[in-house]
Amino acid sequence: MKTLRRILVAIKTPGARSQPALRKAAQLALGSGAKLQLFHAIDTPLYQDAYAMHGKSLQQTQREWRERVFTQLEKLAAPLRREGLNIEVDSDWDYPAYEAVVRAALHGGADLIVAERHATRHILPSLLRFNDWELLRRSPMPVLLVKRGGLWRRPVVIGAIDPAHSFAKPAKLDAAILAATSLMAQTLDGKVHVVHASLPSLAPSARLSVFSPETVVELDDRIRRSARTAFEEALQKSGVDGVRKHFIEGHPVDVIRKLARKQHAGIVVMGAVSRSGLKRLVIGNVAEQVLDALPCDVLVIKPADFKPRVAVRTRGVQLIPTPAYV
């Protein structure tokens, strides 16, 4: 993500008084000149025959519902247009909501999706399907999950990279993370911090092996130096200026969470690869583990060659059988 030209804002509840995702997307648009697209997916199922009881056709019910949503979206867009922002609104009958958002972003050529984070804590996110988790897994473009209300004020933007590729992330993903971190900081007049959480050099079992204590210490030091060199090289190649560096030994989940709190971060930028099946359950996903613990907004970047796992065509309205008592 080297530029911001078009930002899709996923509006969960068009009639809600508080719209933190929209406010922050507007702040990014003002700083970058990007165009905003406000999108709401109408994924509420309709009973097959219930609408007829009110003397309306299915098509009329869909049309009236969509018109109400458009009116609400236009009401949200009006004050932002007066500030000079270029905004369009869109809504469609499509489900599930996370697929509908990705489809709308792909069709519109969005560079970024901004969505409000579910407030509830996720239990076993690798097994359960929540809209925000699925949006992260399926979207090929960056997704900014807004966890906090209020606007950013010269925020600390932390880019979390893994030049040692400890978690099997593609090598080019670090460059994309650094580019996105720099772009966010420039757009918001913020500060760039970059962290590499270096896993402990040797496991405890290795320290109790047949190696002599001197050999273990030497290997420890060699591995640590190699990780630091990779970290410095990644930053040098990125060309990002004014970086505050953090090379910290520990697990990424703990390191990133503690650093974000200590620096009062506004945004943490991190990479994610979508896994499924047994591999997912064994390896897990650092982005998912960190997401609930972080006190700030999170920008998740995917590898450049990531293929979206969503159908191209919208699904339309979801019809379900009318209960016998209706």
- In the chain, list all ranges with CATH 3.40.50.12370: 1-140+316-326
290: which residues sit within 8 A by CB, 6+ positions away? 252, 253, 256, 257, 268, 270, 298
When pLDDT is averaged across residues 201-224 and rounded to a whole number, the result is 65
Length of the chain in residues, anyone?
Answer: 326
Q: What is the pLDDT of residue 325?
A: 54
What is the pLDDT at residue 319?
A: 80
**What is the pLDDT averaged over residues 152-162?**
96
Average pLDDT over residues 305-318: 85
What is the phi/psi pair of residue 3, to 5°?
A: -140, 160
CA distance 158 to 269: 6
What is the CA 217 to chain-centroid distance, rounded? Answer: 39
Higher pLDDT, 285 or 207: 285
Determine how many CB atoms are found less than 10 A away from the CB of residue 86. 13
Output the CATH code of domain 1-140+316-326: 3.40.50.12370
| pLDDT value for 283 | 40
Task: Give the pair of three-digit tokens for residue 46.
Answer: 């309709």
**pLDDT band with cut points at 50, 70 and 90 for residue 55:** low
CA 299/CA 142 separation, integer angstroms: 7
| pLDDT for residue 38 is more than 70 | yes
Q: Is the dihedral of CA 287, 171, 6, 85 positive or negative?
A: positive
Confidence check: pLDDT of 285 > 70: no
Model's pTM, two decimal places?
0.87
Higher pLDDT, residue 126 or 136? 136
Range scoring the smallest mean pLDDT among 40-44, 60-64, 139-143, 176-180: 60-64
How confident is the model at residue 77, as a pLDDT? 98
**What is the Cα–Cα distance from 71 to 75, expressed in whole angstroms?**
6
Instruction: Establish whether the linkage from the previous residue to 96 is cis, with ω within 30° of 0.
Output: yes
| Fold exhibited by the domain 150-306 | Rossmann fold (3.40.50)
Distances (CA, A) of 172 to 162, 223, 267: 10, 22, 21
Rounded-to-integer distance, Cα 148 and Cα 4, Å: 22
Q: What is the mean pLDDT of residues 195-211?
A: 64
Considering the chain, tell me which residue range(s) the CATH 3.40.50.620 domain(s) occupy. 150-306
